[in-house]
Structure 1
Amino acid sequence: MIVNAETVQEYKDGYIVFVPCANKEIVDVRNITVELPDRRKISNAQRRKAYVLLGYISAWWGYMPLENTKEITKLMFRGSPYQITDKDFSLSDCTVTEARLYITYLIDFCILHGIDTGEPLYKLCEDIPRYVWACLMKKCCAVCGRKAELHHIDAVGIGRNRKEIPQIGMQVLPLCRKHHNEIHNIGKFTFMKKYLLQSIALTEEIGQKYRLTRKNMEVTK
Protein backbone atom coordinates (compact mmCIF):
# COMPACT_ATOMS: atom_id res chain seq x y z
CA MET A 1 0.00 0.00 0.00
CA ILE A 2 1.41 3.40 -1.01
CA VAL A 3 -0.05 6.50 0.63
CA ASN A 4 0.99 10.13 0.79
CA ALA A 5 2.11 11.19 4.26
CA GLU A 6 2.14 14.69 5.72
CA THR A 7 5.16 16.14 7.51
CA VAL A 8 4.05 17.20 10.98
CA GLN A 9 7.34 18.43 12.38
CA GLU A 10 10.93 18.70 11.23
CA TYR A 11 13.93 17.99 13.41
CA LYS A 12 17.63 18.35 12.83
CA ASP A 13 18.04 14.62 12.24
CA GLY A 14 14.68 13.76 10.68
CA TYR A 15 10.91 14.24 10.53
CA ILE A 16 7.70 13.28 12.29
CA VAL A 17 5.04 12.39 9.72
CA PHE A 18 1.34 11.60 9.76
CA VAL A 19 0.36 8.61 7.63
CA PRO A 20 -3.39 8.43 6.79
CA CYS A 21 -4.88 4.94 6.68
CA ALA A 22 -8.56 4.34 5.88
CA ASN A 23 -8.34 0.57 6.32
CA LYS A 24 -6.30 -0.11 9.45
CA GLU A 25 -7.37 -3.75 9.64
CA ILE A 26 -5.12 -4.81 6.76
CA VAL A 27 -2.03 -2.87 7.81
CA ASP A 28 0.80 -4.25 9.92
CA VAL A 29 1.94 -1.18 11.86
CA ARG A 30 4.97 -3.09 13.14
CA ASN A 31 6.45 -3.11 9.64
CA ILE A 32 6.07 0.30 8.02
CA THR A 33 8.58 1.46 5.44
CA VAL A 34 8.84 5.19 4.80
CA GLU A 35 10.31 6.27 1.49
CA LEU A 36 11.56 9.82 1.17
CA PRO A 37 11.09 10.91 -2.47
CA ASP A 38 14.31 11.56 -4.36
CA ARG A 39 13.87 14.97 -6.01
CA ARG A 40 16.86 14.61 -8.32
CA LYS A 41 16.06 14.47 -12.03
CA ILE A 42 15.59 11.15 -13.80
CA SER A 43 18.90 9.53 -14.76
CA ASN A 44 19.85 8.55 -18.30
CA ALA A 45 19.93 4.89 -17.19
CA GLN A 46 16.36 5.13 -15.88
CA ARG A 47 15.17 6.79 -19.07
CA ARG A 48 16.73 4.01 -21.17
CA LYS A 49 15.07 1.34 -19.02
CA ALA A 50 11.67 3.00 -19.38
CA TYR A 51 11.91 3.20 -23.16
CA VAL A 52 13.14 -0.39 -23.47
CA LEU A 53 10.07 -1.55 -21.52
CA LEU A 54 7.77 0.70 -23.53
CA GLY A 55 9.19 -0.86 -26.69
CA TYR A 56 8.29 -4.36 -25.47
CA ILE A 57 4.77 -3.24 -24.56
CA SER A 58 4.34 -1.47 -27.91
CA ALA A 59 5.24 -4.66 -29.75
CA TRP A 60 2.84 -6.67 -27.58
CA TRP A 61 0.08 -4.16 -28.38
CA GLY A 62 0.54 -4.82 -32.10
CA TYR A 63 3.45 -2.42 -32.65
CA MET A 64 1.55 0.61 -31.42
CA PRO A 65 3.56 3.83 -31.88
CA LEU A 66 5.91 4.27 -28.93
CA GLU A 67 4.59 7.71 -27.99
CA ASN A 68 1.04 6.35 -27.85
CA THR A 69 2.15 3.49 -25.64
CA LYS A 70 3.93 5.93 -23.35
CA GLU A 71 0.89 8.18 -22.95
CA ILE A 72 -1.49 5.26 -22.35
CA THR A 73 0.76 3.62 -19.75
CA LYS A 74 1.31 6.96 -18.04
CA LEU A 75 -2.47 7.35 -17.69
CA MET A 76 -2.75 3.81 -16.35
CA PHE A 77 0.14 4.48 -13.99
CA ARG A 78 -1.55 7.62 -12.63
CA GLY A 79 -4.61 5.57 -11.74
CA SER A 80 -2.58 2.86 -9.98
CA PRO A 81 -1.28 2.56 -6.39
CA TYR A 82 2.25 3.20 -7.71
CA GLN A 83 1.67 6.91 -8.35
CA ILE A 84 2.58 9.21 -5.47
CA THR A 85 1.10 12.44 -6.90
CA ASP A 86 -1.85 13.39 -9.08
CA LYS A 87 0.33 15.45 -11.40
CA ASP A 88 1.43 14.38 -14.86
CA PHE A 89 5.13 13.74 -15.40
CA SER A 90 7.59 13.63 -18.26
CA LEU A 91 10.43 11.20 -18.86
CA SER A 92 12.56 14.20 -19.76
CA ASP A 93 12.54 15.84 -16.34
CA CYS A 94 10.60 13.78 -13.76
CA THR A 95 12.20 12.88 -10.44
CA VAL A 96 14.27 9.79 -9.74
CA THR A 97 11.47 8.46 -7.51
CA GLU A 98 8.75 9.00 -10.13
CA ALA A 99 10.91 7.27 -12.74
CA ARG A 100 11.58 4.31 -10.42
CA LEU A 101 7.89 3.83 -9.65
CA TYR A 102 6.92 4.12 -13.33
CA ILE A 103 9.57 1.57 -14.35
CA THR A 104 8.35 -0.76 -11.59
CA TYR A 105 4.79 -0.37 -12.90
CA LEU A 106 5.91 -1.21 -16.47
CA ILE A 107 7.79 -4.30 -15.26
CA ASP A 108 4.77 -5.48 -13.27
CA PHE A 109 2.63 -4.91 -16.39
CA CYS A 110 4.97 -7.08 -18.48
CA ILE A 111 4.97 -9.85 -15.87
CA LEU A 112 1.19 -9.73 -15.38
CA HIS A 113 0.48 -10.06 -19.10
CA GLY A 114 3.30 -12.47 -19.90
CA ILE A 115 4.91 -10.11 -22.39
CA ASP A 116 7.93 -11.61 -24.15
CA THR A 117 10.78 -9.22 -23.42
CA GLY A 118 13.61 -11.34 -24.76
CA GLU A 119 15.79 -10.50 -21.76
CA PRO A 120 15.62 -11.02 -17.99
CA LEU A 121 13.53 -8.26 -16.44
CA TYR A 122 15.64 -8.17 -13.28
CA LYS A 123 18.26 -6.32 -15.34
CA LEU A 124 15.80 -3.44 -15.83
CA CYS A 125 14.55 -3.34 -12.24
CA GLU A 126 14.57 -0.33 -9.97
CA ASP A 127 12.85 -2.20 -7.12
CA ILE A 128 14.10 -5.79 -6.83
CA PRO A 129 11.88 -6.88 -3.88
CA ARG A 130 8.77 -5.66 -5.70
CA TYR A 131 9.91 -7.46 -8.86
CA VAL A 132 10.46 -10.71 -6.93
CA TRP A 133 6.99 -10.34 -5.38
CA ALA A 134 5.39 -9.87 -8.81
CA CYS A 135 7.22 -12.96 -10.12
CA LEU A 136 6.06 -14.96 -7.10
CA MET A 137 2.44 -13.95 -7.67
CA LYS A 138 2.66 -14.79 -11.38
CA LYS A 139 4.64 -17.99 -10.69
CA CYS A 140 7.38 -17.07 -13.14
CA CYS A 141 11.12 -17.47 -12.59
CA ALA A 142 12.79 -14.28 -11.35
CA VAL A 143 15.80 -15.06 -13.56
CA CYS A 144 14.38 -16.20 -16.90
CA GLY A 145 10.60 -15.84 -16.72
CA ARG A 146 9.80 -19.54 -17.17
CA LYS A 147 7.24 -21.35 -15.01
CA ALA A 148 8.50 -21.23 -11.43
CA GLU A 149 8.26 -23.15 -8.21
CA LEU A 150 8.76 -21.82 -4.71
CA HIS A 151 12.38 -21.94 -3.57
CA HIS A 152 13.16 -21.52 0.13
CA ILE A 153 16.30 -19.52 0.78
CA ASP A 154 15.94 -20.59 4.41
CA ALA A 155 16.78 -24.30 4.40
CA VAL A 156 13.91 -26.54 5.48
CA GLY A 157 16.28 -29.23 6.72
CA ILE A 158 16.91 -32.85 5.80
CA GLY A 159 14.31 -35.33 7.01
CA ARG A 160 11.69 -32.74 7.88
CA ASN A 161 8.19 -32.91 6.33
CA ARG A 162 7.87 -29.75 4.25
CA LYS A 163 4.07 -29.86 4.48
CA GLU A 164 4.18 -29.73 8.27
CA ILE A 165 6.62 -26.83 8.68
CA PRO A 166 5.41 -23.26 9.40
CA GLN A 167 6.69 -21.13 6.53
CA ILE A 168 5.25 -17.62 6.93
CA GLY A 169 8.22 -15.26 7.23
CA MET A 170 10.69 -17.61 5.50
CA GLN A 171 12.80 -16.03 2.73
CA VAL A 172 11.76 -17.27 -0.72
CA LEU A 173 12.36 -16.83 -4.45
CA PRO A 174 10.39 -18.00 -7.52
CA LEU A 175 12.73 -20.15 -9.63
CA CYS A 176 12.31 -22.54 -12.56
CA ARG A 177 13.74 -26.05 -12.26
CA LYS A 178 16.97 -25.03 -14.03
CA HIS A 179 17.70 -22.10 -11.73
CA HIS A 180 16.43 -24.00 -8.71
CA ASN A 181 19.14 -26.57 -9.38
CA GLU A 182 21.70 -23.84 -10.00
CA ILE A 183 21.15 -22.13 -6.64
CA HIS A 184 21.66 -25.49 -4.90
CA ASN A 185 24.84 -26.11 -6.89
CA ILE A 186 26.56 -22.73 -6.45
CA GLY A 187 25.03 -21.59 -3.15
CA LYS A 188 22.54 -18.85 -2.38
CA PHE A 189 25.04 -16.03 -1.83
CA THR A 190 26.83 -16.62 -5.14
CA PHE A 191 23.48 -17.04 -6.92
CA MET A 192 22.00 -13.81 -5.53
CA LYS A 193 25.13 -11.87 -6.42
CA LYS A 194 25.22 -13.32 -9.93
CA TYR A 195 21.62 -12.39 -10.76
CA LEU A 196 21.34 -9.27 -8.56
CA LEU A 197 18.31 -10.73 -6.80
CA GLN A 198 16.93 -10.37 -3.30
CA SER A 199 14.65 -12.84 -1.58
CA ILE A 200 11.51 -11.70 0.24
CA ALA A 201 9.57 -13.02 3.23
CA LEU A 202 6.78 -15.46 2.46
CA THR A 203 3.38 -13.95 3.28
CA GLU A 204 -0.10 -15.46 3.53
CA GLU A 205 -0.90 -14.01 0.11
CA ILE A 206 2.07 -15.79 -1.46
CA GLY A 207 1.34 -18.97 0.51
CA GLN A 208 -2.23 -19.06 -0.81
CA LYS A 209 -0.93 -18.61 -4.35
CA TYR A 210 1.23 -21.74 -3.94
CA ARG A 211 -1.50 -23.62 -2.07
CA LEU A 212 0.53 -24.21 1.06
CA THR A 213 -1.00 -26.27 3.83
CA ARG A 214 -2.67 -24.83 6.90
CA LYS A 215 0.37 -25.87 8.92
CA ASN A 216 2.65 -24.09 6.42
CA MET A 217 0.66 -20.90 6.88
CA GLU A 218 1.60 -20.60 10.54
CA VAL A 219 4.20 -17.99 11.46
CA THR A 220 7.75 -19.28 11.84
CA LYS A 221 9.32 -18.79 15.27
Structure 2
Amino acid sequence: MIQENVLGEIVGVDETGIATIKAAIPDLNRAIIRKYKTVQITFDDGRKISCTQRRKCYALLGEIAEYTDGIRTAETVDEQKRLLKMEFMLRRMEATERRMFSLSDCDMSTAREFITYLIDFIIANDIPTRARLIDNCDDIAAYMYACTMHRKCAVCGKAADIHHCEGSRIGAGVDRTKAHQLGREVLPLCRVHHTELHAMPESEFIAKYHLQKVKLDEQLCKRLRFKK
Protein backbone atom coordinates (compact mmCIF):
# COMPACT_ATOMS: atom_id res chain seq x y z
CA MET A 1 0.00 0.00 0.00
CA ILE A 2 1.33 3.46 -0.94
CA GLN A 3 1.75 5.72 2.07
CA GLU A 4 1.90 9.50 2.16
CA ASN A 5 4.15 10.98 4.81
CA VAL A 6 3.75 14.54 6.04
CA LEU A 7 5.06 16.57 8.94
CA GLY A 8 2.55 17.73 11.50
CA GLU A 9 2.60 20.11 14.46
CA ILE A 10 1.28 19.35 17.95
CA VAL A 11 -1.03 22.24 18.75
CA GLY A 12 -2.39 20.99 22.05
CA VAL A 13 -2.29 18.21 24.65
CA ASP A 14 -5.09 17.68 27.16
CA GLU A 15 -4.80 16.41 30.75
CA THR A 16 -5.30 12.78 29.62
CA GLY A 17 -2.37 12.89 27.23
CA ILE A 18 -4.44 13.14 24.05
CA ALA A 19 -2.69 15.35 21.48
CA THR A 20 -4.25 17.51 18.79
CA ILE A 21 -2.04 17.49 15.70
CA LYS A 22 -2.30 19.89 12.78
CA ALA A 23 -1.04 18.55 9.43
CA ALA A 24 -1.61 19.46 5.80
CA ILE A 25 -3.15 16.82 3.50
CA PRO A 26 -0.97 16.51 0.37
CA ASP A 27 -3.88 15.92 -2.00
CA LEU A 28 -7.33 16.84 -0.70
CA ASN A 29 -9.25 15.28 -3.60
CA ARG A 30 -7.41 11.98 -3.21
CA ALA A 31 -8.06 12.05 0.55
CA ILE A 32 -11.77 12.50 -0.07
CA ILE A 33 -11.88 9.66 -2.61
CA ARG A 34 -9.92 7.29 -0.38
CA LYS A 35 -11.84 8.34 2.73
CA TYR A 36 -8.84 8.33 5.05
CA LYS A 37 -9.87 7.38 8.59
CA THR A 38 -6.64 6.63 10.42
CA VAL A 39 -3.05 7.86 10.33
CA GLN A 40 0.24 6.58 11.69
CA ILE A 41 2.15 9.04 13.86
CA THR A 42 5.89 8.95 14.60
CA PHE A 43 7.30 11.37 17.16
CA ASP A 44 10.69 12.79 16.17
CA ASP A 45 13.24 13.10 18.95
CA GLY A 46 14.08 16.72 18.16
CA ARG A 47 17.48 16.50 19.87
CA LYS A 48 20.63 16.23 17.76
CA ILE A 49 23.30 13.58 18.24
CA SER A 50 25.72 14.60 20.99
CA CYS A 51 29.49 14.83 20.63
CA THR A 52 29.81 11.93 23.08
CA GLN A 53 27.47 9.74 21.03
CA ARG A 54 29.35 10.58 17.82
CA ARG A 55 32.65 9.69 19.49
CA LYS A 56 31.23 6.37 20.65
CA CYS A 57 29.94 5.54 17.17
CA TYR A 58 33.32 6.12 15.55
CA ALA A 59 35.19 4.30 18.30
CA LEU A 60 32.99 1.22 17.78
CA LEU A 61 33.23 1.46 13.98
CA GLY A 62 37.00 1.66 14.34
CA GLU A 63 37.06 -1.54 16.40
CA ILE A 64 34.97 -3.32 13.76
CA ALA A 65 37.09 -1.98 10.88
CA GLU A 66 40.31 -3.07 12.57
CA TYR A 67 38.97 -6.60 13.06
CA THR A 68 37.31 -7.11 9.67
CA ASP A 69 39.81 -5.24 7.47
CA GLY A 70 42.94 -5.76 9.54
CA ILE A 71 43.63 -2.02 9.72
CA ARG A 72 41.91 1.07 11.12
CA THR A 73 42.02 3.96 8.66
CA ALA A 74 39.57 6.67 7.63
CA GLU A 75 38.76 4.60 4.52
CA THR A 76 38.09 1.30 6.35
CA VAL A 77 36.03 3.05 9.03
CA ASP A 78 33.94 4.85 6.39
CA GLU A 79 33.33 1.59 4.54
CA GLN A 80 32.16 -0.19 7.71
CA LYS A 81 30.00 2.82 8.54
CA ARG A 82 28.32 2.62 5.12
CA LEU A 83 27.68 -1.13 5.39
CA LEU A 84 26.51 -1.12 9.00
CA LYS A 85 24.21 1.87 8.55
CA MET A 86 22.47 -0.02 5.75
CA GLU A 87 22.22 -3.18 7.88
CA PHE A 88 20.90 -1.14 10.79
CA MET A 89 18.19 0.47 8.68
CA LEU A 90 17.05 -2.88 7.31
CA ARG A 91 17.16 -4.82 10.58
CA ARG A 92 16.32 -2.33 13.31
CA MET A 93 14.25 0.47 11.82
CA GLU A 94 10.53 0.13 11.26
CA ALA A 95 9.55 0.19 7.59
CA THR A 96 7.92 3.61 7.96
CA GLU A 97 11.08 5.05 9.55
CA ARG A 98 13.71 3.67 7.18
CA ARG A 99 15.73 6.54 5.84
CA MET A 100 19.38 7.38 5.41
CA PHE A 101 20.85 9.22 8.39
CA SER A 102 24.11 11.00 9.08
CA LEU A 103 26.25 10.78 12.19
CA SER A 104 26.78 14.52 11.86
CA ASP A 105 23.19 15.57 12.52
CA CYS A 106 20.87 12.60 13.21
CA ASP A 107 18.67 12.70 16.32
CA MET A 108 19.76 11.35 19.69
CA SER A 109 17.35 8.39 19.60
CA THR A 110 18.70 7.15 16.27
CA ALA A 111 22.28 7.57 17.52
CA ARG A 112 21.44 5.64 20.69
CA GLU A 113 19.89 2.79 18.73
CA PHE A 114 22.81 2.70 16.28
CA ILE A 115 25.33 2.50 19.13
CA THR A 116 23.35 -0.39 20.62
CA TYR A 117 23.31 -2.10 17.21
CA LEU A 118 27.10 -1.75 16.84
CA ILE A 119 27.68 -3.17 20.32
CA ASP A 120 25.33 -6.09 19.62
CA PHE A 121 27.24 -6.72 16.37
CA ILE A 122 30.59 -6.74 18.20
CA ILE A 123 29.32 -9.08 20.93
CA ALA A 124 27.57 -11.46 18.52
CA ASN A 125 30.65 -11.71 16.28
CA ASP A 126 33.13 -12.00 19.16
CA ILE A 127 35.14 -8.99 17.97
CA PRO A 128 37.96 -8.02 20.35
CA THR A 129 38.07 -4.36 21.40
CA ARG A 130 40.76 -2.11 22.81
CA ALA A 131 38.36 -0.32 25.13
CA ARG A 132 35.74 -1.94 27.33
CA LEU A 133 32.44 -2.06 25.46
CA ILE A 134 30.53 -0.80 28.46
CA ASP A 135 32.53 2.44 28.26
CA ASN A 136 31.20 3.07 24.76
CA CYS A 137 27.60 2.05 25.29
CA ASP A 138 24.66 4.43 25.43
CA ASP A 139 22.12 1.97 26.84
CA ILE A 140 23.46 -0.12 29.73
CA ALA A 141 20.31 -2.28 29.93
CA ALA A 142 20.55 -3.23 26.24
CA TYR A 143 24.26 -3.93 26.63
CA MET A 144 23.69 -6.19 29.64
CA TYR A 145 20.95 -8.06 27.76
CA ALA A 146 23.23 -8.67 24.76
CA CYS A 147 26.05 -9.90 27.01
CA THR A 148 23.66 -12.32 28.71
CA MET A 149 22.26 -13.52 25.38
CA HIS A 150 25.75 -14.33 24.07
CA ARG A 151 27.29 -15.38 27.43
CA LYS A 152 29.90 -12.63 27.39
CA CYS A 153 31.26 -11.07 30.58
CA ALA A 154 29.73 -7.62 31.01
CA VAL A 155 32.99 -6.36 32.56
CA CYS A 156 35.70 -7.68 30.22
CA GLY A 157 33.98 -9.45 27.32
CA LYS A 158 35.36 -12.94 27.95
CA ALA A 159 33.23 -16.10 28.01
CA ALA A 160 30.81 -15.83 30.91
CA ASP A 161 28.94 -17.85 33.49
CA ILE A 162 25.45 -16.72 34.45
CA HIS A 163 25.47 -15.43 38.03
CA HIS A 164 22.10 -15.49 39.79
CA CYS A 165 21.69 -12.34 41.87
CA GLU A 166 20.54 -12.07 45.46
CA GLY A 167 16.87 -12.91 45.70
CA SER A 168 17.05 -14.99 42.52
CA ARG A 169 19.50 -17.65 43.55
CA ILE A 170 18.74 -21.34 43.26
CA GLY A 171 19.04 -23.20 46.55
CA ALA A 172 21.84 -25.64 47.30
CA GLY A 173 21.03 -29.17 46.24
CA VAL A 174 18.42 -28.06 43.70
CA ASP A 175 18.86 -29.37 40.15
CA ARG A 176 19.44 -26.21 38.10
CA THR A 177 18.12 -27.90 34.95
CA LYS A 178 14.74 -28.38 36.64
CA ALA A 179 14.46 -25.08 38.48
CA HIS A 180 12.23 -22.42 36.91
CA GLN A 181 14.34 -19.46 35.76
CA LEU A 182 11.87 -17.04 34.14
CA GLY A 183 11.95 -13.68 35.92
CA ARG A 184 15.14 -14.36 37.90
CA GLU A 185 17.77 -11.61 37.90
CA VAL A 186 21.26 -12.45 36.66
CA LEU A 187 24.65 -11.03 35.66
CA PRO A 188 26.89 -12.48 32.90
CA LEU A 189 30.40 -12.72 34.36
CA CYS A 190 33.65 -14.53 33.51
CA ARG A 191 35.23 -16.76 36.15
CA VAL A 192 37.59 -14.00 37.32
CA HIS A 193 34.89 -11.38 37.82
CA HIS A 194 32.44 -13.97 39.15
CA THR A 195 34.99 -14.81 41.84
CA GLU A 196 35.53 -11.11 42.55
CA LEU A 197 31.80 -10.60 43.03
CA HIS A 198 31.63 -13.34 45.65
CA ALA A 199 34.40 -11.61 47.60
CA MET A 200 32.33 -8.45 48.21
CA PRO A 201 28.72 -7.33 48.61
CA GLU A 202 26.87 -7.77 45.32
CA SER A 203 25.64 -4.17 45.32
CA GLU A 204 29.21 -2.92 45.72
CA PHE A 205 30.39 -4.99 42.75
CA ILE A 206 27.53 -3.73 40.56
CA ALA A 207 28.29 -0.12 41.48
CA LYS A 208 32.03 -0.59 40.89
CA TYR A 209 31.53 -1.67 37.27
CA HIS A 210 28.33 0.33 36.59
CA LEU A 211 26.32 -2.80 35.74
CA GLN A 212 22.58 -3.50 35.76
CA LYS A 213 20.85 -6.75 36.64
CA VAL A 214 19.17 -8.62 33.78
CA LYS A 215 15.75 -10.21 34.28
CA LEU A 216 15.47 -13.51 32.41
CA ASP A 217 12.68 -13.43 29.84
CA GLU A 218 11.44 -16.22 27.57
CA GLN A 219 13.96 -15.41 24.83
CA LEU A 220 16.91 -15.52 27.23
CA CYS A 221 15.69 -18.73 28.86
CA LYS A 222 15.44 -20.36 25.44
CA ARG A 223 18.89 -19.16 24.36
CA LEU A 224 20.54 -20.16 27.65
CA ARG A 225 18.58 -23.42 27.80
CA PHE A 226 17.06 -22.58 31.14
CA LYS A 227 13.71 -23.95 32.21
CA LYS A 228 11.04 -21.24 32.14
Same fold (TM over 0.5): yes
Rounded to whole Å, the distance in 2 between the matches of 1:122 and 1:14 is 36
Unaligned runs of 5+ in 1: 1-6, 17-34
1:118 CA displacement: 2.0
Letter in 1 for 2:137: C
What is residue 168 of structure 1 aligned with on the other side? 182
Q: Which segment drifts farther, 66-75 or 202-211?
A: 202-211
What is residue 147 of structure 1 aligned with on the other side? 159
Contact 1:82 1:101 in 2 (8 A): no
Contact 1:150 1:210 in 2 (8 A): no
What is residue 76 of structure 2 aligned with on the other side? 65
Aligned residues: CA RMSD: 2.4
Distance verdict in 2 for CA 1:36–1:121, change over 3 Å = farther
Rounded to whole Å, the distance in 2 between the matches of 1:143 and 1:15 is 43
What is residue 159 of structure 1 aligned with on the other side? 172
Matched, 1:191 2:205: yes
Rounded to whole Å, the distance in 2 between the matches of 1:130 and 1:162 is 30
The DSSP-based 3-state class of the residue aligned with 2:97 is coil
Contact 2:45 2:108 in 1 (8 A): yes
Letter in 1 for 2:78: E
What is residue 74 of structure 1 aligned with on the other side? 85
1:208 CA displacement: 2.6
Rounded to whole Å, the distance in 1 between the matches of 2:144 and 2:77 is 27
What is residue 54 of structure 1 aligned with on the other side? 61
What is the aligned-residue identity percentage? Answer: 38
Contact 1:148 1:174 in 2 (8 A): yes
1:12 CA displacement: 4.0
The DSSP-based 3-state class of the residue aligned with 1:14 is coil
Letter in 1 for 2:125: H
1:78 CA displacement: 0.5
Rounded to whole Å, the distance in 2 between the matches of 1:104 and 1:200 is 16
Question: For 1:132, which of 137, 144, 151 is the aligned residue?
Answer: 144
What is residue 106 of structure 1 aligned with on the other side? 118
Contact 1:39 1:97 in 2 (8 A): no
What is residue 25 of structure 1 aligned with on the other side? none
Unaligned runs of 5+ in 2: 1-9, 20-41
Rounded to whole Å, the distance in 2 between the matches of 1:82 and 1:145 is 27
Distance verdict in 2 for CA 1:107–1:157, change over 3 Å = closer
Matched, 1:178 2:192: yes
Q: Kindly tell me the number of residue pairs found equivalent between the two proteins.
A: 189
